[in-house]
């Protein structure tokens, strides 16, 4: 997380200078190398090194393909492709998670990491070969041109109202998502009194996220401040209700229902932001929103960690739900703004 936060502004610039396809392939290589180090590492320094290497890979891949797709196609095609891919990837995590758990049970926890690294290297090779037959983005900066300084890009993004809206929404929602991710397993374990079934919850998570991507793909959840507001309400309201429940089944169903919005929110925010970004600086400006995402998540983890010393996990979930409802209200109010002059 820290590596992503620190490197995203720099790695995103490489996409505009060298091309998003190129840095995606290198990102896969670094990610795979990090997984291999995880698998063979047996000390804390080794795990720290794996975190750094995989963080570099994640930062290089961050929104790289999405930016390339937007530059080489158009708004509608890229949004359709991104949401469809998000849904397919969510489904694909089910056999990966089940297979990884079986391998770990039989051969040990190290082998799934190694398998993950091999898969990443394979993906890098496939991407390299497939990209050769696909068009280059053609919109990146020429080598003789220079991109604006990083601070200038941040200032430009913040001074552009629709991009500032996306930055604020991304950062606050990411902060709210942190206690959801951190507390769901302890809450379900405490209310049910057992842990054996928690791995099965991931199947429901993947299916619900895929359904959310489908709703965004079909335009049911629209790319607009109103659509963002409705999506955030769909995420926040279940936690407002869950905080007042003590039945495991009800809490689980409410938790799974919020994943519908989680599957839709990121593609919607990406498409919304890129309506106001030029082709030649697309990766650089998306690096700003990515940095805001990681900063928000880190803040959310820190605050929720402190709150666990004073409040129950379900109460923290209730506060999370209220935060998302308030954020949805902010987004709904922004639907009245006319941002057509900032369209790119």
CA-to-CA dists, residue 268 to 197, 226, 262, 272, 317, angstroms: 32, 11, 10, 6, 24
The pLDDT of residue 129: 92
Mean pLDDT taken over the chain: 91
CATH of 2-135+149-336, one of 1.10.287.3510, 1.20.1250.20, 1.10.3720.10, 3.40.50.80: 1.20.1250.20
User: Helices marked H in 132-160 — which ranges?
Assistant: 150-159
Q: How confident is the model at residue 146 (pLDDT cuts 50, 70, 90)?
A: low
Query: Residues 180, 319: contact at Cβ < 8 Å?
Result: no
pLDDT of residue 298: 94
Of the listed ranges 179-183, 193-197, 298-302, the one predicted with least confidence: 193-197
Where residue 249 falls (left for φ over 0; alpha for ψ -120 to 50; beta otherwise) is: alpha
Average pLDDT over every residue of 221-246: 96
Mean pLDDT value across residues 189-202: 85
* pLDDT for the residue numbered 145: 53
Per-residue pLDDT band for 1 (boundaries 50, 70, 90) equals confident
Percent of the chain with pLDDT over 70: 97
Q: Which two tokens stand for residue 173?
A: 């929602």
For CA atoms 221, 225, 228, 234, give the dihedral sign. negative
User: Domain segments of the chain: what residues?
Assistant: 2-135+149-336
Residue 140 above 70 pLDDT?
A: no
Number of neighbours of residue 255 by Cβ within 10 angstroms: 22
Give pLDDT, residue 19. Answer: 87
CA dihedral 107, 109, 115, 119 (to 10 degrees): 150
Distance, CA of 136 to CA of 112 (rounded, Å): 34
The answer to whether the beta carbons of residues 17 and 314 sit under 8 Å apart is: no
Task: Pick the more confident residue, 175 or 136.
Answer: 175
More confident residue, 344 or 204: 204
Packing angle of the helix pair 313-334, 225-242 (nearest 10 deg): 160
pLDDT for the residue 144 = 46
What is the rounded average pLDDT of the residues 286-309?
A: 94
pLDDT reported for residue 216: 96
pTM of this structure: 0.91
Query: Distance (Å, rounded) from C-alpha 311 to C-alpha 313?
Result: 7
- CA 91, 67, 54, 172 dihedral sign is negative
- For 47, 141, 230, 270, 333, the CA distances from 321, given in Å and listed in that order, are 34, 42, 13, 23, 19
SS3 content of the chain, % helix, strand, coil (to 5): 80, 0, 20
- d(Cα 165, Cα 169) in Å, to the nearest integer? 6
């Amino acid at each position: 997380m820290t590596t992503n936060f620190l490197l995203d502004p720099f790695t995103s610039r490489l996409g505009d200078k060298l091309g998003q396809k190129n840095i995606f392939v290198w990102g896969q290589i670094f990610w795979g190398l990090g997984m291999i180090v995880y698998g063979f590492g047996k000390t804390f320094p080794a795990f720290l090194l794996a975190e750094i290497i995989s963080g570099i890979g994640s930062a290089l891949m961050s929104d790289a393909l999405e930016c390339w797709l937007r530059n080489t196609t158009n708004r509608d095609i890229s949004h359709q492709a991104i949401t469809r891919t998000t849904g397919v990837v969510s489904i694909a995590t089910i056999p990966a998670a089940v297979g990884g758990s079986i391998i770990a049970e039989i051969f040990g926890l190290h082998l799934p990491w190694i398998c993950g690294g091999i898969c990443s290297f394979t993906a890098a090779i496939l991407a390299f070969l497939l990209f050769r037959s696909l068009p280059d983005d053609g919109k990146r900066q020429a080598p003789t041109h220079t991109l604006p300084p990083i601070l200038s890009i941040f200032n430009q993004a913040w001074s552009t109202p629709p991009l500032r809206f996306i930055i604020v929404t991304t950062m606050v929602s990411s902060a709210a998502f942190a206690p959801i991710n951190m507390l769901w397993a302890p809450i379900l374990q405490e209310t049910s009194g057992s842990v054996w079934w928690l791995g099965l919850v991931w199947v429901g998570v993947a299916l619900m996220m895929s359904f959310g991507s489908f709703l965004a793909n079909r335009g049911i959840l629209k790319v607009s401040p109103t659509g963002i507001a409705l999506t955030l309400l769909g995420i926040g309201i279940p936690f407002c209700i869950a905080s007042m429940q003590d039945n495991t089944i009800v809490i689980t169903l409410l938790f799974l229902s919020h994943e519908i919005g989680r599957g839709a929110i990121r593609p919607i925010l990406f498409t919304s932001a890129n309506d106001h970004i030029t082709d030649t600086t697309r990766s650089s400006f998306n690096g700003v929103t990515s940095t805001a995402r990681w900063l928000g998540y880190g803040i959310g983890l820190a605050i929720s960690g402190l709150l666990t010393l004073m409040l129950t996990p379900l109460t923290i979930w209730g506060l999370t739900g209220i935060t998302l409802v308030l954020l949805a209200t902010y987004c709904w109010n922004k639907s009245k703004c006319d941002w057509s002059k900032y369209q790119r």
